[in-house]
Structure 1
């Protein structure tokens, strides 16, 4: 499908024309047991205040982001060479996949393949998209990429989906996920484990090629189809997708990559934090708890927040969270979030 990006990514998604609903309508349908993946809520143009924060954060952190991108790009390229195929998870993974592709082109003058595909909690990864990639790149080595980890739902979904796919197709795809920001401590390759406030988490489609969140609704998606998405042309005047990519790319020539070592995975860390929040705030459905700055931003943009917990309201990583919470009239409470800077709870 089309996007507002240049030639940095092949989206293996079916463009569909699905009616967008309000957040309130979406929450009612989810409460009735309908999967979030069957619908999308209408995105509004970001406010001037949020755009100002986005530009400020991007300018403030672009050198740091370039260093993180450089770190994961160096590890992946040294590991897989020209056979590397970056497969980003739409949408939050797409800008990171593009930046890895750009970095390798600038540093090694090599054009690697980059695809963006859908994975949906409860439905799994798009197997038709994987079929397409393997058919067109028989010698390639797939590396999945995302923006950040929250509590690990997508990491678990990826592991489960790839195990099923490998068994069914007799393949040997690596199920590991590489992210820029890994506060959940679930990835072998990451840029940082600080709960870093990526400026892309301020926005939805307007920093993701004007692509909606991915959709798996059988009314629109046939057996042979890729998962779906909608191109949000009504937001073209607010699109900053290429601005973000270009700003980070400019910093690659000065990127400082001094340490390519990554720490061990800790699968229990996020679970411990989640149990603590669940007990203290009496949350019945564990899926209503979202860990990390990135996931909290998504809640404030797309769901009905019950409360936002931040470690320190003055921390630079949560400046956009505070503003988004104000716009949604969401309560913000300072709370010991462990090594996370932010946690959110969705209304039940």
Structure 2
């Protein structure tokens, strides 16, 4: 992959900003075709599909923010000279070619591409068929920006593959492929991991948990739960499961208060066997698979636990390892929870909705990784590089 200088990359992004503004109405018009063709049985997917003036503004801001960031390629990580004067320098380097597979969300076509390109990677975009018209016009914008600056359209390219064609491409890529990022639900992630012939970095589903300790401030707990569940149901950082310590003072009363509050926000409540003794009119979960499920809907599962250790165990078994929160006034308990829960982001007395590149200081994000290699959490510009050792010698041999 040819290394581009920073000025050329930034000129492409500057041109792209102008094109997005110029094509604003056409982008929204193309998106309207996708919206009109979409069957609205999946509200979360529909919400992710929408492109309006605000969304175009956000696309422009994402490109501008990345343009203003330092180039992540060629940064010195370490510099060491051995006794024999052999100089070993470790620097950041591009991955090469990245494939991202995603559902709905045309803004990914902007954010993923701008990050990959600024980090000197070629990117292949496999969007969902529900966003075809939106993605086509956004790809056209990218290609105009690239060609206007003397670069090949191949730096940023949409793939138009059906499921079986995608399977074959994953197994036997028709061009060099260095990293695949599946950004979607469990079935998509499973499909990619089963068929990929190169490294896969999982952009995790949510299925985020919150534990209410017996030492919790109840008003904080309720406010955080309502925000994390209802603020944006299509977000992978939305809340799906709440575990409440049975020793919480006025436990039964507070459960009923939480039910009332959730119902005001039109949240469907599921309960485990223990909570069903108190919220008897709610559906009791009998299938363990529901505990693994990311809802992406106004739906919340409430369970009862005996202690902190039980809550940690349940979260580590069932969660998507994305985000987890504890509500407690005991700081030592909070730290025990945060150190032992296996998630990319852990929270004390705050909503999981903050697991986001912008909020966490990374800016535009390619995805939110739940893998432990090579980075966990939001994948921004500085996370889209690998490293390379440059070794400078004068004829040294190892003895």
TM over 0.5, shorter chain: no
Return the structure number with greater strand share: 2
The two structures have a TM-score, normalised by structure 1, of 0.31
Higher RCO, Cα 8 Å, sep 6+ = 1
Bigger Rg over Cα: 2
The two structures have a TM-score, normalised by structure 2, of 0.28
